[in-house]
Structure 1
Amino acid sequence: MILSKIQNLRLGYSEVFYNHKKYGVTRTDFNSGRSIKIYAEELGGNDFVSLNYYITNMRENLKPCEMSESKVIDFINNYKLI
């Protein structure tokens, strides 16, 4: 489910709503889509969300960048596309 929500974000830059605030989101894919980087920044605020997602032959791996996994999962599960 996490992967499908990540893939719903457009490649490159887009904007979403999360927690009643607007975020600018950049999605970059590497290795034919097997590695995905997401960076979201609250527009006009201080919050951000950063993660890498890796797809291997054995499993999928979520790696938050300098924040809790629960914060990243909440963002991915609850953002709304504009």
Structure 2
Amino acid sequence: MTDLFRAALDAIPESYSEGIFEGRRYRIEKAVLAEDRSVKLVARELGGRDYVSLNHYRLARGDQLRPCEMLEAKVRAFVIGVKPIEV
């Protein structure tokens, strides 16, 4: 897992937030579980149909990214590219 991806994921606020990605606004829900060893993130485009979902695990043998029914490249691009906005 790249440090850039992990830093970007950590920068997304926990619980509810909103962000802009590729000119579209998203609602983002992020839960940090298991004493910071697991992150679940779901983002839905407001007024649109796009959807991003992932689980990220911080294991002793290294980080594991598990996109939910989508390409890993899409998940990585979203997490790295989304810009938080004030709600």
TM-score range (shorter-chain normalised) is over 0.9
Q: Name which of 26, 36, 40 aligns with 2:39.
A: 36
Off by >4 Å, runs of 4+ in structure 1 = none
Q: Distance in 2 between matches of 1:80 and 1:9?
A: 9
What TM-score, normalized by structure 1, do the two folds share? 0.97
CA RMSD after TM alignment: 0.6
- Is the CA contact 2:9–2:80 (under 8 Å) kept in the aligned structure 1? no
Q: Percent identity?
A: 35
The total of aligned residue pairs comes to: 82
Gaps of 5+ in 1: none
Name the structure 1 match of 2:73: 70
| Mapping 1:1-82, distance limit 5 Å | 1-82=4-85
TM-score (normalizing by structure 2): 0.92
